[in-house]
């Protein structure tokens, strides 16, 4: 099956005066797994539904390969969709649900049956073809929705928070399985989630959305280590945003004149673990908490800025003895110190 690239070109959508998509542009490569990540209300579902054909953009263009699909009917778009609530037909059994997209596309009955059974095997539901939807677990329903999305061999798959209803263990298993399914089929996939870790784990690239705009599109590692805005830095994990002049170099040199981002887990309490080009923060310990795999220390700089420091348990031999009020120096290696362009903390 040949997969296709997706082009989203300056798409805008407003509901009354509320702008849900504000001039969004995005290129997804053929066969890529791209995740839209953002808080609730940032426009992820609206963008996905515009691609699927259920939301009509006010302006802008959507292309699948070279084909302009902006005004095409949903079932003509060659796109498989897993909706947030699965949207399975509750009065049909598993097999009928999976055959449905083929019936819509007038696939001959015998062929449709075989294709549906093959797809059920692919998502590990081979024994459940005759089962009613109501008699399935959440994870099984999710697999049916997945099978229904891919059974007609679409060129593109869209998934809107497909795992949000599942408990954590099952979610992690399914993350792995969805990624593997993507790799087997080579199908261009846009996946939506508000869960940072899920986005980092699953994706080739992540597009971070906020207020109807894409803030940054990059590999998971770049998004995490080199956020281009303060919003992205803070959305992706425990980020300390430090005002210009907060840090000094290890040998006591000039402090940075830019706003810096240093993640909580980038710090050490031992200067020897950090190269000479690293930075140091002089602080006072406000609080500490043991979290099993690590210690979380809350520090205060002399100007009152709070800094979170996370020390892995294996490197935290001294943490248990630290007392609130004590002076502490936290060190971070240069490669973990990131200036946020244009940001003034
Ligand atoms: P997300 O999926 O990121 O949570 P949505 O795309 O669902 O965000 O929604 C983006 C914004 O657009 C939200 O503030 C939402 O209330 C608004 N919105 C979405 N659909 C409609 C609609 N049909 N009518 C009015 N407002 C809408
Ligand atoms: Mg949504």
Q: Which ligand is closest to the CA of 161, given by its number? A: 2
- Which has the closest alpha carbon to 120: 99, 90, 92, 91? 99
Q: How many CB atoms lie within 10 A of CB 192?
A: 22
Chain centroid offset of residue 58 CA: 26
Closest residue (by CA) to atom 15 of ligand 1?
41
pTM greater than the 0.85 cutoff: yes
Q: What is the average pLDDT score of the chain?
A: 93
What six digits make up the tokens of 290?
């043991």
Q: How many CB atoms lie within 10 A of CB 167?
A: 10
Cβ of residue 263 lying under 6 Å from some atom of ligand 1: no
Cβ of residue 194 lying under 6 Å from some atom of ligand 1: no
Residue ranges and CATH numbers for the domains of the chain are: 6-235 (3.40.50.300), 239-339 (2.40.50.100)
Mean pLDDT to the nearest integer, 203-219: 97
Atom in ligand 1 nearest the alpha carbon of residue 42: 3
Beta bridge mates, 191: 35, 159
What is the largest distance, in Å, between two alpha-carbon atoms of the chain? 77
Q: CA-to-CA distance for 303 and 283, rounded, in angstroms?
A: 9
Q: CA-to-CA distance for 196 and 33, rounded, in angstroms?
A: 15
Q: CA-to-CA distance for 163 and 160, rounded, in angstroms?
A: 9
Cβ of residue 154 lying under 6 Å from some atom of ligand 1: no
Flag whether pLDDT at 56 surpasses 70.
yes
Closest residue (by CA) to atom 26 of ligand 1?
15
223 C-alpha vs ligand 2 centroid, how far in Å?
Answer: 21
Closest residue (by CA) to atom 25 of ligand 1?
15
Flag whether pLDDT at 239 surpasses 70.
yes
Atom in ligand 1 nearest the alpha carbon of residue 39: 3
């Amino acid at each position: 099956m040949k997969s296709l690239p997706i082009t989203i070109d300056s798409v805008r959508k407003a509901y009354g005066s509320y702008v849900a998509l504000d001039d969004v542009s995005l290129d997804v490569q053929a066969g890529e797994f791209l995740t839209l990540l953002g808080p609730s209300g940032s426009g992820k579902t609206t963008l996905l539904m515009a691609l699927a054909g259920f939301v009509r953009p006010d302006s802008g263009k959507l292309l699948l390969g070279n084909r302009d699909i902006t005004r095409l009917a949903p079932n003509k778009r060659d796109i498989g969709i897993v909706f947030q609530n699965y949207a399975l037909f509750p009065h049909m059994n598993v097999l009928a649900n999976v055959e449905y997209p083929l019936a819509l596309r007038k696939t001959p009955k015998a062929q449709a049956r075989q294709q549906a059974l093959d797809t059920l095997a692919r998502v590990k539901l081979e024994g459940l073809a005759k089962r009613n939807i109501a008699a399935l677990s959440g994870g099984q329903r999710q697999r049916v929705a997945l099978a229904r999305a891919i059974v007609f061999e679409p060129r593109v798959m869209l998934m809107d928070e497909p795992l949000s209803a599942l408990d954590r263990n099952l979610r992690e298993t399914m993350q792995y399985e969805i990624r593997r399914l993507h790799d087997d089929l080579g199908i261009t996939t846009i996946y939506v989630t508000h869960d940072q870790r899920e986005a980092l784990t699953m994706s080739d690239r992540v597009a971070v959305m906020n207020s109807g705009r894409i803030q940054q599109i990059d590999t998971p590692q770049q998004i995490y280590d080199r956020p281009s805005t303060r919003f992205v830095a803070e959305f992706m994990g425990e980020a300390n945003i430090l005002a210009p002049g907060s840090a000094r170099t290890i040998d006591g040199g000039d402090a940075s004149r830019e706003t810096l981002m240093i993640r909580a887990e980038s710090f050490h309490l031992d200067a020897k673990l950090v190269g000479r080009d690293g930075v140091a923060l002089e602080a006072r310990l406000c609080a500490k908490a043991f979290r099993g795999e690590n210690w979380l220390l809350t520090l205060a700089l002399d100007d009152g800025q709070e800094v979170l420091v996370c020390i892995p348990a294996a490197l935290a031999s001294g943490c248990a003895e630290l007392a609130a009020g004590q002076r502490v120096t936290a060190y971070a290696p240069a490669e973990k110190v990131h200036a946020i362009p244009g940001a003034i903390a």
